[in-house]
Structure formats: C-alpha cells, structure tokens
Structure 1
C-alpha cells in the first residue's frame, strides 16, 4: 500500500489529501488544471517538502514528523511533461546515465529489456534533436526505468505531444502496465489516457480528493461528473478469443458474450479492456435483424438518471446497464426511454458499433 498524506498552502491554493493507494497497477491522479495533481506528485516524490506530511511506500517510511528522505534516496523513477534528455548524449547514453549509477545488485531491469519493451532499438545512435516528441518521451521513460525504481511517477508525460505522438506512445505505456511489476502513479487531465491506462482513479478538485477507487466504478457512478459529461463512457474487461476473424476485426469474450472490435495488435487469450462511449450505445427490446451494428449484448437496466451535466439537457437520460459483473452506460433520449417503457431490472439489448469501441 502507498500512504500519502499532505497538507500544503501556497498563496490561494491549498492541498489537503489523505490517500491509501494500491501498490500495484496504475493509479491515475485526475482533475482539471490547477486541481493539485502535479503538486501532490511532487510531494510524493520528495521534490516538495512540507512539514507534517507523511509518505509510506510498502511499509517503508519516506516522510513523517520525525524525518524526511530526500528524493535521491527514494527508489522511484520520475517522468516529467518534457523529456529533458541530455542533448549532447546519444539515446543509448541517455538510457544508461541512471543505470550506470545503480549498484549491480540493485539493477532489476536491463537495458536490452527496456529497449525492447519501448521499441527504441532503432533510435540508440540518434541524438535527442533527431527524435520525434513521442520518441523522446519513450527514451525518457526508459531512462527512468533503468534506475530500477520500485515506484514510477509520471507527470502528464503526453501533455506536450500531438495526437499522432500520443497514439504512438499509448501502446507502450500499456505494455509497461501489463508486463512490469512496478506500481505507477500517473497524472493526467485527459480522460482518454486515464481510461486506457488506469486501474485505480483519484479525482482531485481544488486540492481536495473528491473520490477515489476502482476506475470502472467511478466512471459509472451517477453522483460523479464522469457519467454526466459529453464523453461519459464505460471501461469493460474482456478477453481476446480470436485476434483476427477477417476484415481487420477481433473477437472478444465479454461477460460470456461475444463482441467484435476493430483493433490491431491483439493476441489470442490476452486480457484487454474496451472503452465504450455512452452515446455510442443503442438500446433495443428485441434483437434486431438486418442492421449494420455488429454487437448485440444482453443487459439489464440498473437505473435511469436524468441528464445532470454542466449544461443539463432535459431531452436526454443516462441508462446504467448491468452486463454480467460490469456496468455499461447508454445515453439516449428521454422520449426513447418513455416509448420503450424502460424500468429497473428490465432486460434490454445493447447495440454497439464495432468501430466505435476503443
């Protein structure tokens, strides 16, 4: 477990948090700009010292009222928004900079392993100014990993990247999550990144913790802003049954039901997650025929919520659906809900485009 308790006052901004985070998987610190995400991460790293703070990692005290371990004595890696590579060193020497300063007995990750994991073997002899933004950030992540950290802190590592570079680097971040046994605390204000990467979510606002817990539960909680936003979505756990059924489609098993999606790079038997926007879900009382929608999932209505976003639309409702042990959101018109006479515990079919699943 990671315990992070900090109180900090800086001008008009105050941070006051008490967190108990899992010491595995990816925890996302999420919130709008100015909510305190980076400040909290810097406190956890020891880059910000505040008397009275407490930081405990897997039973090891890094900070409390009796002492403070400086950042260079904490077994962590830190990835900043900017790659900040040494411009006079080639990629391979940037990677080895921290690695060579770690005693051999503490080197848990080896250069070849990290180079393969991040797909940077062809970049090793280049200088930083010869790399794209996404390539530079992958090298920065590799440099942090080669210090063999027990905890990896990432401060909006894709904030300065364009959409193409973000799409390039996300699969490599997923590999870090899936293949390395290193807990990651990931700061972001982009919900698309969080839903692709995170297992646990902390929602911050004005330096306070609004909510924290399992990603799926928070995304579908009707009392939190996620479910009422324009990008309201569900993140569902699935397993690959067939990585190529033809036409570029893959078949997943989702709560003992079949789903087809348009995604490359999957492997048979692989556990994966799918993100489905609430606005991309169509409901039906009976399985329809002769339509282009590929996926028809049997679900049950949990509840029906009026639209309650920042700009509420009285013509819409949010329907929360039970799909096995998981929750699926659907945003439909109020008129449709009334015409279908939707009610709690009613069985309905959720129709989803294969190309709409991320």
Structure 2
C-alpha cells in the first residue's frame, strides 16, 4: 500500500509538475527552498487545492482524479494536518481540544495511548495558555491522530519552536513514528529535522521532484550540495552498536566492515541496536599511513574517488569505505598538494567526531 500522486498546476509564473509514490508507513520528509512546491504538494494531498490536472491515490482509495472528475472534499478525506502553530481552542481544556473532531469509536482508548506516548497525559485539565510551545505542538499532533486518519501531513511543525523545544518534540516524534501504521509526510526547511526524523527524503526544486529515496542515499548523493556548502558537508551512515568499552565511556559502532570508537554519551541504546550517525567533513582528515601515535582513535583504510574544489583554498575529498559507502573530508589545497593526493590513492581517514541522531533504526 502506498501514497501515489501526480499533478500539474500553474500559479502565475510558477509551474508545478510533481509526481511521487511514497511508502505506506514511516516518515517521508519533503525538503526544498521556498517556492519549490512543498506547500503546494501538501495542499493537493489534503484537498485544500485542486490542481489543474492530476490524481492522488492512498492505498486503494482514489481521492483525486481530474480526468474522471473524481474529487473527495477535504472534510471527507481521512487526512490530518499539523501546522506550524498548534491552533488550539483557547477556551477549551486540553482534553476537550483533543476530543474535538476525534473519531468516536475507541476514542477513550486512543486518547490514553496517545497522551501517554506523547507525554501530555498530565496536561488534560490545563488550558492552552499554560503550555509551552513544545507541549502545544504535542497536543496538536495527538489531536490530529485522534481523528483516526489514514495519512498525516505535517507542515513545518517545529519551525516556531526554540532549539530545546524542538529537541523535546523530536524525541516524542521518533517514538510516535515507530508506533503508527500510516504514512507521515513531513515538510521542513531543516536538514537537522530530516536527519533526526525521516525514513525517506523527497527533494523539490522549481516545482519538480529532483531526488527521492531513503535518507542516507539522498543525503550522500550530492543532491543537497546547495544546502551543505563548505565545511558543512557531511555523510550519513547506518551503524550498529557492537560493544561498550569495559574501562572507558566509549562504545564501538560497526559501519559495514569498519569499527568506530565513539563517546558513550549516556544513550539508552543496547548492543546490537542500529542507529543513524553523521560524520561532518571537517571532522575527517587524511593520512598516508596508519599513524599509531595519534590521539585520534578512528583510522580507517579508504581510497580517494573524487577531489573537487570548494573554494580557492579548500577541497572536498570523497573517500570510498566499501563498494557502496562513501565518506567526505574537507582539506586545504595546501594539504592536498603536499600529500600528493590523487584519484585511486589508498589512504587512511582519521575521524575526529561523530554525531548521533535520536532515531533508532530497526536494522540495516
């Protein structure tokens, strides 16, 4: 079962021609600059906009088919939307807000489950004006799910939150996405949110889909280069917790056939658990030999597959981990020339830092 869509639409000088087929479960992030078509896609999926031509099909239900004059209106689609602002009724309690528009069958059971899952069960008697921004957004998410939708659309739900509140909501969204059996389409301007939340990534540019796939593949493909200029280049990899060091607060992560020792950071994950990790290009240096006198714990044999200029004094070096996995490093032009780095040369990547997402992966 999938979410399928294909439509064309014209707004003055803006033309949109967007097609896609998204998985029936998990979070698909929709990413792109302003005007690329993110909001237009959400409006077509929700029914708020009828395109000039196209179709939308969710599982076996055709919600839109302009050729056959089929159009299920907004209020009849089993689609829920979470906006940037929570849009709660200020005169109602949180419980009454949650039950407003909720599907009647099994509402009490779903209310108890969702409020516990999203950590808002202690707020049911409160009024919206007493809640933090993060709490309001969690209430808005629960309210959307209580309508028993078959599709959840999220329109930059964290955009108005400060960083601590964003992290708070992301933690709950991670738990939520693994529990519900419906597709979530998540529009965002933030690569951090993509990294932490998404299973799949759809990239829009000038009204067209320019890339789609699992997050790691799209992230590492070069499609996002415009948003990862200079030292902000990074690589996303799936890794498995292999062991914890018996003496030091470190753990060994397995990436393909390579090992990375990283700080334990007090995370609750267990040996054997899979996680997504990010390695920033500025945290990767290159050496011609496996220097055992270095303070850097992680030295991995790699080969150089690409050298491209970032600017007049820096290069982006692409390093091959295995047949499928690549790593990126930013080096000065001076270092590149002094080490005589060339395509195909076998070197060692020294990895100084690794960032973890809050997303735990079932396997890889």
Bin for the TM-score computed over the shorter chain? 0.7 to 0.9
Output aligned runs, 1:90-129, within 5 Å.
Answer: 90-99=93-102, 101-104=103-106, 110-129=110-129
Cα 1:102–1:206 shift into 2, 3 Å: farther
Q: CA deviation at 1:339?
A: 2.6
Partner of 1:288: 291
| Cα pair 1:280 1:356 within 8 Å, conserved | no
Per the TM alignment, residue 226 of structure 1 is displaced from its structure 2 partner at its CA by 4.8
Deviation readout 1:232-268 (Å, 9 max, x if unpaired): 2211111223478677644422224332145443320
Q: Does the Cα contact within 8 Å between 1:234 and 1:278 map onto a contact in 2? A: yes
Give the 3 Å change call, closer, same or farther, for CA 23–285 of structure 1 in structure 2. Answer: farther
Q: Partners of 2:60 and 2:321 in 1: how far apart?
A: 38
Name the stretch that deviates more: 344-353 or 57-66.
Answer: 344-353
Distance 1:53 1:246 in 2: 61
Could you say which residue in structure 1 is the equivalent of 2:229? 229
After superposing the two structures, state which structure 1 stretch, 236-245 or 39-48, moved more. 236-245
Change (3 A) 1:170 1:224: closer
Verify the 8 A CA contact 2:302 2:319 in the aligned structure 1: yes
Provide the C-alpha distance between the structure 2 equivalents of 1:128 and 1:256, rounded to a whole number of angstroms. 51
2:10/2:16 contact within 8 Å kept: yes
* Distance (Å, rounded) in 1 between the aligned partners of 2:98 and 2:294: 52
Residue in 1 that maps onto 2:18 = 17
Q: What is residue 189 of structure 1 aligned with on the other side?
A: 189
TM-score computed with the length of structure 1 as normaliser: 0.87
Alpha carbons of 1:209 and 1:270: their partners in 2 closer, same or farther (altered >3 Å)?
A: same
After TM superposition, give the deviation of residue 329 of structure 1 in Å: 1.8
Work out whether 1:303 is the aligned partner of 2:306. Answer: yes
**Deviation of residue 39 (structure 1)?**
1.6
Equivalent residue, structure 1, for 2:253: 252
Q: Which residue of 1 aligns with 2:347?
A: 348
Deviation at 1:19, TM superposition (A): 1.7
C-alpha separation in 2, matches of 1:275 and 1:12: 39
Is the aligned partner of 1:55 residue 2:56?
yes
Task: For residue 141 of structure 1, report the CA deviation from its aligned partner.
Answer: 0.9
Give the stretch that moved more between structures: 152-161 or 268-277. Answer: 268-277
User: Are the counterparts in 2 of residues 245 and 251 from structure 1 also a CA contact under 8 Å?
Assistant: no
How far off its partner does 1:186 sit? 0.8
Q: Deviations over 1:283-339 (max 9, x none)?
A: 2223333444343333333322232xxxxx122222222334422222222332233
In structure 2, distance between residues paired with 1:109 and 1:318: 53
Q: Assess, with a 3 A threshold, how the Cα gap between structure 1 residues 319 and 125 changes in structure 2: closer, same or farther.
A: same
Other-structure match for 1:165: 165
Query: Is 2:84–2:156's contact at 8 Å kept on the other side of the alignment?
Result: yes
SS of 1:253 mapped into structure 2: strand
Is the partner of 1:179 in helix, strand or coil? coil
CA distance in structure 1 between the partners assigned to 2:37 and 2:208 by the alignment:
8
**Match status 1:3 vs 2:4:** yes
Aligned to 1:334: 333
- Quickly say closer, same or farther: Cα 1:279–1:9, change in 2 above 3 A: same
Paired residues, what number? 350
Residue equivalent to 1:310: none
Structure 1 gaps of 5+ residues are: 308-312
Asked if structure 2 preserves the Cα contact closer than 8 Å seen for 1:234 and 1:276, the reply is: yes
Would you say the 8 A contact 1:28–1:188 is kept in 2? yes
Compare 14-23 and 260-269 and name the one that shifted more. 260-269
DSSP-derived class of the 2:178 partner: helix
Are the equivalent residues in 2 in contact too, given 1:243–1:267 (CA < 8 A)? no
Aligned partners of 1:210, 1:72: CA distance in 2, in Å? Answer: 32
- Give the Å deviation of 1:85: 1.3
Give the CA deviation at 1:91: 2.1
Mean Cα displacement is larger for which, 286-295 or 127-136? 286-295
Considering only aligned residues, what root-mean-square deviation do their CA atoms show, in Å? 2.6
Corresponding position of 2:318: 320
Native 8 Å contact 1:227 1:233 kept in 2 = no
Long gaps (5+) in structure 2 = 358-364
Instruction: Report if aligned partners of 2:304, 2:343 keep a CA contact under 8 Å in 1.
Output: yes
Report whether the alignment pairs 1:178 with 2:178. Answer: yes
